[in-house]
């Protein structure tokens, strides 16, 4: 497994691999790898013969009061996990490599960033699309793999790739969960034992939404009220948003259609967690 720290070296290596006829995949990460990340790498391996991952805690996607400095990091552990899962190249740039002195360019996707996390985290998605666009240029992948746990991020990146005619296939992978149902996240380590119990209310509320939908409930406000009551019945929880929306545009709906996205963001203690599910009419 190669570890590359500079943009110039990464671009040269990616170009050499492409010229040799290899199909390249990229899994962008911010490190502190867990089983969810490793599943993305396994999926990437199935669709390519050279797997590249990036490990970079991206400062420009964090707001001024968010947890950039405290975000968990474990570079040595990450490299060992990547090696075990069969990653070929780890791109491990420093901040100065990604954002050299005088950097002033931003990539912005307009409409789909104006919902869900885009409302409560202004500037977040501009940071995401800018760093991902840069990573695409640096690693030159044929395929990029993202988790569906951050459904809006997957939507935004897919939109950027389509709008800018990037010759990259974007693949979403279903959310990986712990045995108790909690969606895997690097931030789960912040949770106390009691808070983790309350955090399970996110998955329970998604299960409730699925049950109501299967029984014929078509009112989005009705399902949102039920979800709200369930989450708020647990201690340590503070709802950021509950959205039932169109899975393509992310615009809120009042009546459920054949396919609907239920997306949640909830603070449990000091930890902000997200989760989602799709409600689909079975064909």
For CA atoms 58, 64, 67, 71, the dihedral sign is: positive
Give 3-state DSSP helix, strand, coil % of the chain, rounded to 5: 40, 20, 35
- Phi, psi of 129, rounded to the nearest 5 degrees: -65, -35
- Phi, psi of 3, rounded to the nearest 5 degrees: -120, 120
| Long-range residue pairs from 16-20, CB within 8 A, at least 24 positions apart, any chain | 17/50, 18/140
d(CA 11, CA 15): 6
Tell me whether residue 37 is one of the annotated catalytic residues: yes
Per annotation, catalytic residue among 34, 37, 47, 234: 37
d(CA 208, CA 152): 22
* Residues marked as catalytic: 37
């Amino acid at each position: 497994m190669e570890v590359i720290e500079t943009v110039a070296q990464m671009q040269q290596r990616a170009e050499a691999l492409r010229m040799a006829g290899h199909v390249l995949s990229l899994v962008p990460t911010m490190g502190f790898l867990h089983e969810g990340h490793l599943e993305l790498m396994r999926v990437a391996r199935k669709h390519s013969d050279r797997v590249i991952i990036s490990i970079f805690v991206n400062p420009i996607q964090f707001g001024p009061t968010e947890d950039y400095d405290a975000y968990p990091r474990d570079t040595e552990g990450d490299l060992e996990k990547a090696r075990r899962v069969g990653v070929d190249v780890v791109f491990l740039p420093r901040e100065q490599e990604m954002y050299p002195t005088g950097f002033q360019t931003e990539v912005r996707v307009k409409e789909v960033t104006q919902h869900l996390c885009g409302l409560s985290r202004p500037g977040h998605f501009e940071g995401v699309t800018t760093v991902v666009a840069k990573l695409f240029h640096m690693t030159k992948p044929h395929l990029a793999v993202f988790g569906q746990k951050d459904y809006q991020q997957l939507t935004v990146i897919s939109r950027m790739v389509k709008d800018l005619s990037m010759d990259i296939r974007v693949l979403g992978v279903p959310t990986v969960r712990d045995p108790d149902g909690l969606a895997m996240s690097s931030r789960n380590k912040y949770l106390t034992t009691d808070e983790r119990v309350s955090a399970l209310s996110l998955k329970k509320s998604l299960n409730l939404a699925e049950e109501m939908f299967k029984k014929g409930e078509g009112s989005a406000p009705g399902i949102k009220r039920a979800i709200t009551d369930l989450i708020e019945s647990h201690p340590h929880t503070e709802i950021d948003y509950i959205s039932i929306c169109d899975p393509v545009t992310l615009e809120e709906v009042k009546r459920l259609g054949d396919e609907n996205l239920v997306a949640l963001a909830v603070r449990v203690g000091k930890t902000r967690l997200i989760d989602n599910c799709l409600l689909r009419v079975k064909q």
